[in-house]
Amino acid sequence: MITDQERDVALLNSPAERVTKERIGAIIIETKFIQPEGTLLTLCILTLRNGFTVTGESACAAPENFNKELGEKIAYDNAFNQIWKLEGYLLKEAIYLTGTKAQAAV
């Protein structure tokens, strides 16, 4: 298995268009955190530029372990990670459509 550093170098050298953290970050227009009263649950709602929303959550089992900032970070990361699949699908669809149009022109 390669290291995180080796992965990052390999990704930087990828010749084709790809989904990146920067690309995902650029489409997030709003971030909201909610902690329902009386719970150890943290919800993150990310709104994307087209109005679509994704959510992430975190929870801890013991009140003594609750940390607002850590809960928000974990919830945000969970929501952010959902966008990878969505953006990957959109990129693949665009590549497919471009190839289909190119084949039709031949």
pLDDT of the residue at 102 = 63
- Name the DSSP letter for residue 23: H
HEC string of 55-88? EEEEECCCHHHCCHHHHHHHHHHHHHHHHHHHHH
> pLDDT digit of tens for each residue in the chain (106 aa)?
999 899 888 888 888 888 999 999 999 999 999 999 999 999 999 999 999 999 999 999 999 999 999 999 999 999 999 999 999 999 999 999 988 766 766 5
Q: Which residues pair with 44 in a beta bridge?
A: 33, 56
What are the structural domains, with CATH classification, of the chain? 4-105 (3.30.160.240)
